[in-house]
Amino acid sequence: MQTKVDSPAAQLPQMVDARNPGMELDLDWVMSAQANTSAIERRCATLPGRRSVKKDHQAAWLLRAITCIDLTTLAGDDTEGRVRRLCAKAKQPVRADLLDALGVEGITTGAVCVYHEMVPAAVQALEGTGIPVAAVSTGFPAGLSPFHLRVAEIGESVAAGAEEIDIVISRRHVLSGNWQALYDEMREFRAACGEAHVKAILATGELGTLRNVARASLVCMMAGADFIKTSTGKESVNATLPVSLVMIRAIRDYYERTGFRIGYKPAGGISKAKDSLVYLSLMKEELGDRWLQPDLFRFGASSLLGDIERQLEHHVTGAYSAGWRHAAG
């Protein structure tokens, strides 16, 4: 089957926004943030059924999803060889014959995300590609190491070549309502990142309520976060649509008040191509086309890419292939 697919990426102008400088902590704004759980759940329940795309349109959106993936390996048995293989997959995320059949070229993932020890290997493997390396930091995943060591860890990863730093917040500040402490912590993390962009991981599955998620999102953006991210992927509950809707609307509120666009990264548990389409449609409906670019939207995922590639092969050939035919590295 020979088909020509125009990815949504090709239809969107590539824009670069001014980086969020942060602002003074506005506790009145933070405390005014509420979350109507039943209304949020009703809204999210309608998304998978109402927002369905088929055939060439589906293939185009799946290609768009690939460009927004932070291809990730965060295992205790990671090796430099595994990271290099993952980087090779990031550079060529879909088999060449499938891309030829789709009429697409030059597609890559949004970034590669690794532990600090693996940053040099990833930077070397991706040299000259323009694909950034993201490093998880600040005592990932629990964020309970001494504060000065968490700050120093950021500096080490930046010095090693990481262009993006995924930090974890101290959940206790949210659970105890100590918003000033959360703000001060995030400001120091942002300062330590320098020119590297910072993604604030809220670990939403451990924050108790959607209202806490909304307030923590605002505080991190006020403190200068470039992205807010749902989860480390290590919690028992990771990215969900209700949590995503709350965080996305906090991003919209922040943009409407300050003029600065903040990125969003759902992470953990997103492994099926159909789920990526739901998240993309949610971003488009709530924030608009500008947030469908990888500088403002990422999936934190390891297995998602394999399922997307299987769906693209089905689109091209009419048959599903085994998962081992689309290895991640």
Catalytic residue of the set 70, 89, 226, 229: 229
Q: Single out the catalytic residue among 70, 166, 226, 295.
A: 166
Check residue 9 and give its pLDDT.
46
Query: Could you give the strand order of the β-sheet that contains 227-229, starting from the edge strand earlier in sequence?
Result: 263-265, 227-229, 197-201, 164-168, 133-136, 111-114, 69-72, 299-301
Based on the residue annotation, tell me whether 229 is a catalytic residue of this protein. yes
Residue 152 CB partners (closer than 8 Å, separation 6+): none
- Return the closest-CA partner of residue 118 out of 60, 79, 62, 148: 79
Of 64, 20, 15, residue with least CA distance to 292: 64
Pair 47, 87: CB distance under 8 Å: no
Active site residue 166: yes
At 1 the pLDDT is 40
Tokens representing residue 85 in the block: 């293989």
Per-residue confidence (pLDDT) for residue 313, from 0 to 100:
94
By the 8 A CB rule, do 63 and 107 touch?
Answer: yes
Q: Which domains does the chain have, with CATH numbers?
A: 23-326 (3.20.20.70)
Tell me what pLDDT residue 149 has: 98
Peptide bond before residue 141 is cis, with ω within 30 degrees of 0: yes
Token reading at 6:
């125009």
CA 254/CA 261 separation, integer angstroms: 8
Residue type at 142 in one-letter notation: A
Whole-model pTM?
A: 0.93
* Average pLDDT per block of 10 residues along the chain, 329 residues long: 50 71 98 96 85 84 97 96 97 95 95 98 98 97 97 98 98 98 98 98 97 98 98 94 98 98 96 94 96 97 93 91 69
Model pLDDT, residue 316: 94
Query: Catalytic: 91?
Result: no
Q: What is the pLDDT of residue 147?
A: 97
